[in-house]
Structure 1
Amino acid sequence: MTTPPTLLACFLLSLLLAAAVAPVPAGAVCVPRGGHTKPGAPAKAKPKPKPTPAPAPPTPIAPGADIVRSLCLKTDYPDLCMSSIAKQPQQQLPGGKRLDGAGVLRLAMSAVRAKAAEAKAAAAALASDPKTQPLARNPLLDCVESFDDIAYSLDQAQKALAAGDRGTTGTMLDTVRTDVDTCDQGFEEREELTPVMAKHDAELAKLSSNCLAIATAAGLR
């Protein structure tokens, strides 16, 4: 018997409706196109940037007897630094206080002052000596004046140090170093002259250089 067309069409329509409403099988998962992450897998955390290590702080110099050696070792002439400071009168510190960086700098400045006074006396004696070359007298008198300038600059540096004025302290110590060169220049400009103050000037240059190095190492300039 042939099935009527109407009944066949109704049968096919029923099959289509049943397929449309059929439940999704258990365990079936819809994966988005292009995705590579497994279901349930934790997201990968981005690596944290490594912190930049902080620069090491400068090693503090402890007050006390060893501070002279510690600071002098930071100069270009440590042996001269320690021996010149050892020759200076050591003041008694009140209240059991210990020698600090400023105290070491003051002693180093005293060494410069003592040497400048010695050099001034030598220059004045040579300037008045009849055996001295006549052309050397004016340069020698200039040296006497420059050594006076050293004493003045040290006075100003001392005041600035007491006031905690690091800028002026450094400036005046630089001036001391320049005043030493001023004496040398008077002889360098005249090749025929014997540089009779060369030895004094060389030691003064080293002592004043030590002062600058100590002030820098102690954070005083």
Structure 2
Amino acid sequence: MTRIVLLFVLFSLNYRAHADLIADTCKKSEYPDLCNSTLRSDPRSAEADATGLARIVLEAALIKASTTFDQVKKLLSKTTEPVLKKCLTACTDLYESILEEIPKAIQNAGPDKNEAIHQGDLAITDADTCEGIFSDGPNKRKSPFTANNIAVQHLVAIAEHILASLG
């Protein structure tokens, strides 16, 4: 009976330590609510170290980027308006790059955090550029992807913050 109680206590302490890691990590983030919701929605977070948490957030960013890329392509296939077509074509190219950069960031999150952060910076810039394309020039319009572009940028920024804190 003592062993069962001891195992329960150890399990509880381990769970609490990981819960504290997520809470501590996210409260230092620029986007704590998004950080918390992203990490707490993924069961792998309970056992992950800080590098693992960064990878989980980058994987969430990759999913959002992939969804956005599909939406851009879908809208591009339906539009005939020249200015919109030009904007969407540019965003397609940018999201193709993002879909290469984020996996490189994930791959480098452990062995080379500086390279992971660099790849993340490229992805953030590309998502920001996609957003800005719609407000450039004389034919300004609202981007249909604002929420997605921001989500990709914020998720990658959270992961970069986690990686940068690893020292």
Q: How many residues align?
A: 151
Which structure features the higher share of helix residues? 2
Q: Distance in 1 between matches of 2:156 and 2:48?
A: 20
Preserved CA contact (<8 Å) 1:74 1:217: no
Which of residues 71, 80, 103 is equivalent to 1:122?
A: 71
Q: For residue 157 of structure 1, report the CA deviation from its aligned partner.
A: 1.6
Q: Distance in 1 between matches of 2:41 and 2:92?
A: 24
**Residues 45-101 of structure 1: per-residue CA shift (max 9 Å, x gap):** xxxxxxxxxxxxxxxxx9623212211111111001111233346289xxxxx4210
Map of 1:78 onto structure 2? 32
Q: How does 1:140-151 map to 2 (within 5 A)?
A: 140-151=88-99
Counterpart amino acid of residue 83 in structure 1: S
| Alpha-carbon spacing, 1:144–1:80, altered in 2? closer, same or farther (3 Å) | same
Q: For residue 191 of structure 1, report the CA deviation from its aligned partner.
A: 4.4
Map of 2:4 onto structure 1? none
| Structure 2 residue runs without a partner (length 5+) | 1-15
Q: Distance in 1 between matches of 2:36 and 2:45?
A: 16
Preserved CA contact (<8 Å) 1:124 1:144: yes
Q: TM-score of the superposition, structure 2-length normalised?
A: 0.79
| Structure 1 residue runs without a partner (length 5+) | 1-61, 93-97
The answer as to 2:64 corresponding to 1:64 is no
Tell me: higher relative CO, structure 1 or 2? Use CA pairs within 8 A at least 6 residues apart: 2
Map of 2:162 onto structure 1? 214
SS at match of 2:18: coil
Counterpart amino acid of residue 96 in structure 2: D
Calculate the aligned-residue CA RMSD, in Å: 2.3
Q: Distance in 2 between matches of 1:152 and 1:190?
A: 28
Preserved CA contact (<8 Å) 2:97 2:126: yes
Q: How does 1:90-129 map to 2 (within 5 A)?
A: 90=44, 98-129=47-78
Larger Rg: 1
Give the percent of matched residue pairs that are identical in Structure 1 and Structure 2: 24
